[in-house]
Structures are given as structure tokens and as C-alpha cells.
Chain A
Amino acid sequence: MKRKMIRSVFMLFMLALFACQTDDAFRGTELEGLPTTDFTLTDQHGQPFTLSEQKGKVVLIFFGFSFCPDVCPLTLSKWKQIEKQLGEQNSEVEFVYITVDPERDTQEKLKTHLAVFSDSFIGLTGTPDDLKTAYAGYGIYREVVKVSEGAAGYLVNHTSRIFVFDRAGNWRLGISNDSSVEDMVHDIRLLLKG
């Protein structure tokens, strides 16, 4: 008797959990009324990429650099998993990586770096002015820091948020870079539906 009751309470609890999982609320931060800044940059194959021309697709943008050893590759490997989970819906999603290190991230470098993760990821760089437009439009923090005395080179500390645009081309969500793959897939699917 008691066991049965415990079991039904447990079932109810699981149902409630399930309900939460399939809810229609975004797990990322919803942005309302923030203007979407359009920009045109060049992808790793030398083709121009304009944000406003991606309408009809859900667009994810991450600002990073290929010499970044820790967080940027972590984001790209999450994207790779998202791609897998989306399956066929993947053709309706654009994964865009904009460099914060145009000095070293040449088209060639972006091409080899992104190919390690996925051939469908888009890597963008551009003229200092065009990049500035994109950085400014999304409030990108970017700071060049020297590494140790013994080694040459530098690192770039930067904004780690993922920017998400809906099919209409509006900037809709900000997803924290440490969100789980499941949460990101959830939000992308929700945007694809609506």
C-alpha cells in the first residue's frame, strides 16, 4: 500500500519533470527590443556573408579566435554535438564564428581550424571597419593580453556569449557559453518551430 503510494508520487514527479522538459520557454536569455545590427564579412572560402541575407534560417554567432586553446574549441565542439542532434533540421541552422583576432585568423587559418569540427561552420573575418561594425553592434568585449615572458604571442580575452537570431533575422537570444548542449538544442528547435 505504502509502496504503491510512493510509486505514484514518484510517477507524478517524473511527469512534472517531463512537462518541464518539453515546455515552450527559452532556456537562454530572451532579448526584447534590442536592435539587430547587420554586417557583411568574408567567410573562410572568400565568399561574402551578410547577416540579413540569412533570413529563413536560425543563426548562431560566436566571437572567438582559433589560437584560443580552451573556451573557443569547447564551444565549437558543443556546436558539433548540436549539429549531430539536430539531424535534418541542421540545414535550417547556420553556425557562424567571427574572429576577434583578425591579425592571425586569416581565411586560410579559419578554414583549417573550423574544418576540424565541421565543414558547415562559417568562419568570418573582414576589414577592420567591417569587423568593428559587428563587434560594436553586439557589444563585444575584446582585450589582447600578453602571455608569459618566456613565450611570444598573445591571447585575446573576449565575450563568450552565443548570439541567436530567429528566422525573421531578429536578434532573439543570448545563450551562455557554458549552457548544456541539450539546452541549446532545445532553444534552437523552439526558434525553428516559431
Chain B
Amino acid sequence: MRMNEKQVRGRAVARIVQYVVIAAMFTASGCLDQKAGAPAIAVENVWSRAAETMQHSGEHAGHSSAQMQVNGVVYFDLHNRGGSPDRLVAVSSPVCTVAEIHRTVMQDDRMTMRPIKDGVTIPPGAKIEFKPADYHIMLLGLNESLTPGMVFELEFEFELSGKIVTKSTVRTP
């Protein structure tokens, strides 16, 4: 089918309009993002359960110290007072070898604990509780005992907010 000049021009105009609309939408979405603002993360009510590492190797014949490693735990609230979501991606602490984000799942009266490898997203305005039998940070391989009253350092890493250093207080179990 052949088109006359007018039709061709009409199509070209239509296409330009289309591009302009798409470009405008992109810009608008950018504006919206800016309006929503950055995430504002607060790590609150941080505490750990007391845990005793074992110093007397004699008691545990047949077990390497690695096998006998004691694990600790950290609970807290993640509060996002900002306008866009953020994600907790990692935690570390000088008191342990590795810290992992875990979630305890109770199903059919079975307790299973799973590492949360993709991190935990905190939507804007939301508060996510890390609490017993739910999300928690596992401190794998404690270097020292966590005794009641003790305070130790933790470093949280968020996708957007970056690093937040805080302290955990050890409570009696």
C-alpha cells in the first residue's frame, strides 16, 4: 500500500509524540523517586542472649574446638522512617567468626533455621522485628563468652544506607 506525503508526515508526527510521552514518563518517574526520598534506617532495641563458650578442652575429648564452637544471637528492630525501601544485606561483629541473617520457621511443630541469603527488605515506614523464633542474627563461632551486662559492637550493612555501627547488650537468657 502506498502512502501519500501527508500520511507519511502524520505518522512521523505521531511517532515523535510517542517518544515525547515516553521521555516525559521516564522523567516523571525519576521525579517521583526523588520525592519519595532516601531510606532512613534506625536499628533499635539491640540485645543478645547470654552464651557461654567452653574454655576447658579436657572436658570434650574427641571434639575439635571447631566442632565445639558456641553460637550467639542478636535481636533488634529495624525501623525505616524514610521514603523508600532499603535492604539489610550483611552483619558482622568482632565477637564471632561469621554473622548470618537467619530466620526460624516453625511448621508442623518442627523448628528449622534458615540462612536468609538475599537479605531482608524494610519497606518505607515499616518496622521489622528480629525476635526469638523469627528473624535473628546468628553469631557463628563466638570468640568469647557473652556475659549478662556485656556490650559489644555490631556492624550492619544496608544496600542503600550503607554501614551502621551499633552495640548489642547481653541479657540473661
Contacts and interface: CB of A to CB of B under 8 A. Distances in A.
Interface of A: 67, 69-71, 73-74, 76-77, 103-104, 106, 108-109, 112-113, 116-117, 141, 143, 145, 147-148, 150-153, 155, 157-161, 174, 176-178
Interface string B69-86: 111110000000000000
Given A69-B49, A153-B66, A178-B106, 7 more contacts: A70-B73, A70-B136, A76-B173, A116-B172, A152-B67, A152-B69, A176-B106
Given A150-B98, A153-B67, A153-B141, A160 B173 contact: no
Contacts of A141: 110
Interface of B: 49-52, 54, 59-60, 63-64, 66-73, 96-98, 100, 102, 104, 106, 109-113, 115, 132-133, 136, 138-141, 172-173
B68 A104 contact: yes
Contacts of A104: 60, 63, 67-68
Contacts, number: 109
Contact of B111 (A150, A151, A158, A174): A158
A178 B104 CA distance: 12
A151 B110 contact: no
Nearest to A147: B140
A74 B59 contact: no
Contacts of A148: 98, 100, 115, 140
Nearest to B133: A71
Contacts of B109: 159-161, 174, 176-177
Nearest to A113: B52
Contacts of A145: 113
Contacts of A109: 54, 59-60
Contacts of A152: 64, 66-67, 69, 141
B170 to A, nearest CB: 12
B143 to A, nearest CB: 11
B63 A150 contact: no
Contacts of B64: 152
A63 to B, nearest CB: 10
B54 A69 contact: no
Given A69-B138, A150-B140, A155 B113 contact: yes
A91 to B, nearest CB: 24
Nearest to B52: A112
Contact of A70 (B50, B97, B133): B133
A158 B110 contact: yes
Contacts of A157: 110-113
B71 A153 contact: yes
Contacts of B136: 69-70
Top 9 closest pairs, chain A to chain B, by CB: A152-B66, A151-B140, A160-B111, A69-B73, A161-B109, A150-B98, A157-B112, A74-B132, A151-B98
B144 to A, nearest CB: 15
Contacts of A117: 173
A139 B136 CA distance: 28
A127 to B, nearest CB: 15
A71 B54 CA distance: 21
